Amino acid sequence: MKLIQTPSQTVGPYFAYGLTSEQYGYDFRSLFGPVLAEPQAAGEHIRLSGRVFDGDGVPVPDAMLEIRQADAEGRFVASRAEALASGFRGFGRCGTGTHPSLHYWFDTVKPGAAAPGEAPCIDLIVTMRGMLLHAFTRVYFDDEREANARDPVLGAVPAERRATLVARREAQPGGVSYRFDIRMQGAKETVFFDL
Partner 1 sequence: MPAKPSIAPRDWASQPPYLYPGYKSTVKRGPTRPLVPLTSALAQRNAPVYGHDDIGPLDHDLTRNAARNGAPLGERIVVTGRVLDEDGQPAAHTLVEIWQANAAGRYVHKADQHNAPLDPNFLGAGRCLTDQDGRYRFLTVKPGAYPWQNHPNGWRPNHIHFSLFGQHFASRLVTQMYFSGDPLLALDPIYLSAPERARERLLSRLNLDVVGEAGFALGFEFDIVLRGPHQTPAEA
Residue of 65, 72, 77, 166 interacting with partner 1 (CB under 8 A): 77
Using alpha carbons, select from 17, 13, 45 the residue that is nearest to residue 29: 17
Q: Does 8 bind partner 1 (CB under 8 A)?
A: yes
Distance CA 123, CA 69 (A): 6
The CA distance from 185 to 94, in Å, is 21
- SS3 of 140-190: EECCCHHHHHHCHHHHCCCHHHHHHHEEEEEEECCEEEEECCEECCCCCCC
- Indicate which single residue of 31, 39, 100, 117 sits in contact with partner 1 (rule: CB under 8 A): 31
CA distances from 144 to 33, 76, 88, 194 (A): 27, 20, 22, 24
Taking CB under 8 A as the criterion, the residue among 22, 35, 59, 82 binding partner 1 is: 82
Q: Which is nearer to partner 1, 66 or 144 (CB)?
A: 66
101 three-state secondary structure:
coil
Select the span of 29-37, 42-50, 100-108, 142-150 touching partner 1 (CB under 8 A): 29-37
Q: How far is the CB of 158 from partner 1 (least distance, A)?
A: 8
Is residue 56 within the footprint of partner 1 (CB under 8 A)? Answer: yes
Residue ranges in contact with partner 1 by CB under 8 A: 2-19, 21, 24, 26-29, 31-32, 54-56, 60, 62, 66, 68, 76-80, 82-83, 89-91, 97, 123, 125, 127-136, 152-153, 156-157, 184-185, 189-195
